[in-house]
Structure 1
Amino acid sequence: MSNYDTVILDIEGTITPITFVKETLFPYVTSGLTQFLNRTWDMPELKQQVELLRVQAQKDVQDKLEHAVLIPTESEASVQEVKDAVIETIHWQMKADRKIGALKSFQGFMWKEGYESGVLRGVVYDDVVPALEKWKAEGKTIYIYSSGSVPAQKLLVGYSSKGDLMPFFSGYFDTSVGLKTETESYRNIAKQINKENKTDSILFVTDNIHEIVAATQAGYQVVISDRPGNAPLGPESKQFKIVTSFDQI
């Protein structure tokens, strides 16, 4: 890697183990969903989250997606029927591992309570903080780009096992700028951070080969994160730099 002044990091499989997401964060939502809805049902912010899910559900039903169900309003059905539809929607979307905004927003809203109560702590690899400190000392600007919502990203790094890491980051991006497998998303980010004519000065680190290819096509420098539990890398990854620890970047 050479002459990069900006670093953009993925989260899952890059700075935090995939197992933390799959075995801690996701089960926190699915196992506690009913109680959470019962406890927070009258909160205005929850109503906003349910409305986002309702709009998405309507689109999914129109698109004839299997398992999609409409989420009625409280004027159309009982509170319990609305809750049941929300639960059914979240469960099937999470089972399908959908990267849609409404789901990610709801997950982040629910995780917030878990992080603030101390039940959840974002797990961060030991080699990450020394790299963040090194990049910061060198004057590099650091961002996060993850399919998880921006609020969820801030919770993970703000309530991490290594303490509050938010001061290291200058900004956060989620799929509202575009899907991570699309080249245009990386162009959008570059434009937002005033690097649209200097994309070769950006280093992007992720575990996903499709994201690596998309970022490369946008002119970024790239590094593949090969962590324990990540999906096996295919032969197409060999043309890129692969690291098992951030001290190898």
Structure 2
Amino acid sequence: MATVTVPANTSVFLLDIEGTTTPITFVKDILFPYIREHLEEYLSDHWEEDECKQDVHLLKKQSEEDLRQHRACPVACASQSGQTDEEKAIREVVEGVLWQMAADRKTTALKQLQGHMWRAAYATGRIQGEVYPDVVPAIRAWRQRGMKIYIYSSGSVEAQKLLFGYSIEGDLLDLFDGHFDTNVGAKVESQSYVRIAERIGVQPQDIMFLTDVTREAKAAEEAGLSVAVVMRPGNMELTDEERSHYTTVTSFGQIA
């Protein structure tokens, strides 16, 4: 296993989650199916709670915005015989959420509801966050050398903390110095990485970014970060040009 030497000025590791610290299958085969399978049950159980009411309010505002923007959106379900107003309202929310998920939308309203559902699932042990076995030992070694470790993922900060706080390896939150999500900007925009460097209080060239997505790697590189592309089972295959351009690793253990 070839070792990758980190640039001497590096003081921060910035880590992607899906396909980097955590198998893509965890998100696709566990997290998202959990939402689809338990959405109606969750809404019915929490419908009268303030947090759920806020989630539903945001989803309805998003739906109204989609209509204004002439985006396709689900037709409100027709009232069925014997169906209460609450049941009808829940059904409409379910249809809207499932439509957003099928369209791979990443709206704040959708991410907020998903985060609240996952929080309940993690807390009751129905879900445990997955991390590759090489991740925790590597991070501990980096921290011992004085490195700071941050997460940057398209999943909300709350969802990130749930994954690492209720992981198969136990509570790992103490390993991280902070978390960033798309509130700081899209991961394929170089300015997002400049903002992250500013918030951490370092120069972009002091950060090494690990991701499995070359579009993100390109944006980070343009911002001045050093980059390594992580090649895990199930990740997108790299082209020959990408392999020759980027430093690649198959395990965090390769990063010395």
| TM class, shorter-length | over 0.9
- Contact kept, 8 Å, 1:143 with 1:171, in 2: the verdict is yes
The yes-or-no answer on 1:54 pairing with 2:60 is yes
Cα offset, 1:191, TM superposition: 1.3
Moved more, 118-127 or 100-109: 100-109
Q: How does 1:190-209 map to 2 (within 5 A)?
A: 190-195=197-202, 198-209=203-214
What is the DSSP-based 3-state SS (H/G/I as helix, E as strand, rest coil) of the residue aligned with 2:70? coil
Match for residue 70 of structure 2 among 64, 73, 83: 64
Cα 1:9/1:50, change in 2 over 3 Å: same
**Contact 1:61–1:68 at 8 Å: present in 2 too?**
no
Residue equivalent to 1:167: 174
Q: 2:196 corresponds to which residue?
A: 189
- Of 145-154 and 183-192, deviating more is 183-192
Picking from 89, 92, 115, the partner of 1:85 is 92
Say whether 1:127 aligns with 2:134: yes
Specify the alignment match of 1:215 in structure 2: 220
Q: Contact conserved, 1:223 with 1:241, CA < 8 A, in 2?
A: yes
Name the structure 1 match of 2:248.
242
Q: Using the alignment, how far apart are the partners of 1:86 and 1:236 within structure 2?
A: 45
Larger radius of gyration, structure 1 or 2? 2
Aligned residues between the structures: 242
Pair 1:63–1:13, CA change in 2 (3 A)? same
Which runs of no fewer than 5 residues in structure 2 stay unpaired?
1-5, 78-83
Change (3 A) 1:202 1:37: same
Deviates further, 32-41 or 99-108: 99-108
Q: 1:32 to 1:84 in 2, by over 3 A?
A: same
What secondary structure sits across from 1:231 in the alignment?
Answer: coil
Partner-residue secondary structure (3-state), 1:98: coil
Name the residue aligned to 2:31. Answer: 25
What one-letter code is carried by the residue in structure 1 that aligns with 2:22? T
* TM-score computed with the length of structure 1 as normaliser: 0.93
| 1:160-197 CA distance string (max 9 Å, x none) | 011111001111111111111111111111111112xx
Give the aligned partner of residue 140 of structure 1: 147
Q: Hey, what's the Cα distance between the residues in 1 that align with 2:103 and 2:230?
A: 24
Match of 1:41 in 2: 47
Distance, in Å, in 2 between the alignment partners of 1:31 and 1:237 is 38
Conservation of the 8 A alpha-carbon contact between 1:57 and 1:68: no
Judged with a 3 Å threshold, the aligned counterparts in structure 2 of structure 1 residues 82 and 140 are, in CA distance, closer, same or farther, namely same
Could you say which residue in structure 2 is the equivalent of 1:8? 14
State the 1:236 CA deviation: 4.0
Which TM-score applies when normalising by structure 2?
0.90
Query: Residues 79 and 156 from structure 1, CA distance in 2 versus in 1: closer, same or farther, beyond 3 angstroms?
Result: same
- Name the residue aligned to 2:81: none
Letter in 2 for 1:178: G
Structure 1: which 5+ runs fail to align?
A: 72-76
